[in-house]
Structures are given as structure tokens and as C-alpha cells.
């Protein structure tokens, strides 16, 4: 098996750290590893598979001789360094929003459109975490009954805003229970014992960036410009793993039992749908898992051919790092 010269760009962030975990767990064939971050993190040491690596400052000259760059350092950094990565001949699997809607860049969920990877010109984009968690369980249904419309409501964990937001949730929870005053610093509002509209910019149409990403990315990944998608994205006081309530309308009638059978054998999906025990997907149980948990399957009688469900998925794993490593595995045919 060919071994790959790998760099992790943005290694000190939550997703960057998870890249290392996933690479080790999936036994990705690494010949050499370079850890890159901002100048503030340069010099830090990080253990990986029995060795200690020193973090280097990411510069345009950092990529010579590499095969793969797993990037999660922010959109501006990705845009700045992408030309150097491509010039060096490496494949950039980018976890930011920088290139997702670029028509020249494949946007890939391996369970859905792996064939798009072959079209890359040096960059493959990783979709938004909420999009991945939504589409992995919807794709098996779409292939059979063609989904016309999706209505999504998300319940997004602090992890989606990064490691510092996760720390803020923990700190605020302790402060709240101790009766102390809470002053938000990372997120715009109190996250402990509260929910609020997703903390991305609101556009002139009233939709935030997160909601707009889910709409546009679905069309691109499904190769279906006609599919209708609307979303309401909310931040909730969960440490890790996003959940979503999904309501779909299909062109062809499909029963709940047929949907359950499809999802029961679908790649990347774990069916958690026990009505007798009122036991369905929970972010607590989806945390640390790569499968998207799916349940609360039921007919939506308010529309023709309507199905409703509830899903949970680990935002840092399948919503980010795992999906990117899976793309790399396919690109380099390591499995």
C-alpha cells in the first residue's frame, strides 16, 4: 500500500485535533506527517502514534513534497495558502467554506457522490457539518423516491463554534449553578441553559449563513438544482454532536416501513427508532461515533408523500474530520 506524506493545517483547533485521532483510528498509511498552525502555535508539541511532533507556522513554503493537506484553519487561511498547496502538487481537502460553492471544486460526502472526487483540480471541499448530518440519511431515500423538499430545524452543539465555545459552555454551566453572573465571550449570548439563533451572519433575506449553506450545498451534492430546502439553525447547550428535525416530501410515495428498511442498511447510518421505549437519537450517544443516528420515523400527513425524522451526528467527526479523511482515502485509493 502506498504511504502518503500528510500535513494537518490548523492542527491546534478542535477539528485539527480530531484529524489526528481519525488518521490513527482508520490506520491511514502515513509516510510523514507535518503539523501546521498559526505563528501563535508554532513550537508547541503534539503526540501522535508514539512520536512527538512540533507544530510549525503555516507558510506558502510549507507544502513542498507533500501528497495531502487536511485543512481546517479558517476560510481566509485556506484561500491564502491554496495556490501554494496546489503548486506543490498536494491534494487539499478543505474543511472551511472557502471553496464549497466554487464550481471548479468538488463538494463531497463519500456515501453520496464519491465519483466527484476524480474531478478535482487540487482541492476537494468538505461540506458544512449540518449539511453532512442531514444528507447522509436522506440520500438513500432520495435515490428511491426523489426528495422534492426538505424542511430542517437544527439543534447545534457548542462544538460547531470550536473548542473555545465548548469550554465556554462548561464554564457558564458551572457559573450558572453557582449563581454567578455570566458574561458571554466566545458566543454572542449565554449558551448554558439557553438556546439562540445560530451565531452566523444574518443575510438580507433573513436567513443566516448556516441556513444558506445547507440550501446551496444540498443542491450541489445531490446534483439537483430543483430540490427545495429551507432550514432554521439554532445553537443549543450541548457540548458535542448536532441534532436535526427533518421533514421531507418525496415525488414517489414511500412508506415509513420502506424508509426504515432503507436506512437500516444504509452506509454511514445507525437506526435508533424504538417507539416502545421512546428511545431515539440523542447527541450524547452520537458523540464519538461516525454514523449518523436516525429515528422518530413517521409519516407527515400535512403534505403528500411526507416523512419526518430526527437525526444526531458528531459534528467534529463525520461532520468534519472523518468525512475529510474518507475523501482522502478514496482520492489515494488506500482501502
Catalytic site positions: 129, 242
Burial of 64 (0-12, 13-18, 19+ CB in 10 A): exposed
Residue 278: how many other CB atoms lie within 10 Å: 7
> What is d(CA 107, CA 100) in angstroms, rounded to the nearest whole number?
6
Q: CB neighbours of 99 closer than 8 A, spacing ≥ 6?
A: 78, 82, 105, 123, 125
Taking each continuous run of H as one helix and of E as one strand, the counts in the chain are: 8, 15
CA distance 9 to 58: 7
Grid cell for residue 168: 465556554
Contact between 231 and 205 under an 8 Å Cβ cutoff? The reply is no
Helix axes 14-25, 163-177, angle to 10 degrees: 110
Angle between helices 209-222 and 129-145 (to 10 degrees): 40
CB 125 within 8 A of CB 105: yes
Amino acid at each position: 500500500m502506498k504511504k502518503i506524506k500528510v500535513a494537518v493545517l490548523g492542527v491546534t483547533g478542535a477539528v485539527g485535533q480530531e484529524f489526528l485521532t481519525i488518521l490513527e483510528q482508520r490506520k491511514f498509511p502515513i509516510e510523514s506527517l507535518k503539523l501546521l498552525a498559526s505563528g501563535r502555535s508554532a513550537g508547541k508539541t503534539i503526540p501522535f502514534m508514539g512520536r512527538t511532533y512540533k507544530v510549525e507556522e503555516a507558510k506558502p513554503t510549507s507544502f513542498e513534497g507533500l501528497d495531502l493537506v487536511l485543512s481546517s484553519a479558517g476560510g481566509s487561511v485556506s484561500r491564502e495558502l491554496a495556490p501554494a498547496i496546489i503548486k506543490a502538487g498536494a491534494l487539499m481537502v478543505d474543511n472551511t467554506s472557502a471553496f464549497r460553492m466554487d464550481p471548479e471544486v468538488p463538494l463531497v460526502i463519500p456515501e453520496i457522490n464519491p465519483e466527484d472526487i476524480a474531478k478535482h483540480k487540487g482541492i476537494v471541499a468538505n461540506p458544512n457539518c449540518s449539511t453532512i448530518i442531514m444528507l447522509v440519511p436522506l440520500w438513500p431515500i432520495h435515490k428511491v423516491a426523489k426528495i422534492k423538499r426538505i424542511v430542517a430545524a437544527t439543534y447545534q452543539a457548542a462544538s460547531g463554534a470550536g473548542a473555545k465555545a465548548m469550554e465556554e459552555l462548561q464554564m457558564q454551566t458551572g457559573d450558572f449553578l453557582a449563581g454567578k453572573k455570566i458574561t458571554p465571550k466566545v458566543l454572542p449570548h449565554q449558551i448554558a441553559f439557553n438556546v439562540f439563533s445560530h451565531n452566523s451572519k444574518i443575510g438580507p433575506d433573513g436567513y443566516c449563513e448556516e441556513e444558506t449553506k445547507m440550501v446551496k450545498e444540498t443542491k450541489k451534492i445531490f446534483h439537483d438544482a430543483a430540490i427545495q430546502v429551507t432550514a432554521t439553525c439554532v445553537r443549543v447547550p450541548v457540548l458535542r454532536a448536532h441534532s436535526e428535525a427533518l421533514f421531507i416530501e418525496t415525488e414517489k410515495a414511500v412508506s415509513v416501513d420502506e424508509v426504515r428498511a432503507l436506512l437500516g442498511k444504509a452506509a454511514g447510518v445507525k437506526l435508533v427508532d424504538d417507539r416502545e421505549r421512546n428511545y431515539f437519537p440523542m447527541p450524547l450517544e452520537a458523540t464519538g461515533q461516525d454514523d449518523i443516528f436516525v429515528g422518530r420515523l413517521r409519516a407527515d400527513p400535512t403534505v403528500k408523500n411526507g416523512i419526518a425524522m430526527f437525526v444526531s451526528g458528531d459534528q467534529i467527526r463525520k461532520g468534519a474530520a472523518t468525512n475529510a479523511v474518507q475523501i482522502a482515502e478514496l482520492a489515494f485509493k488506500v482501502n
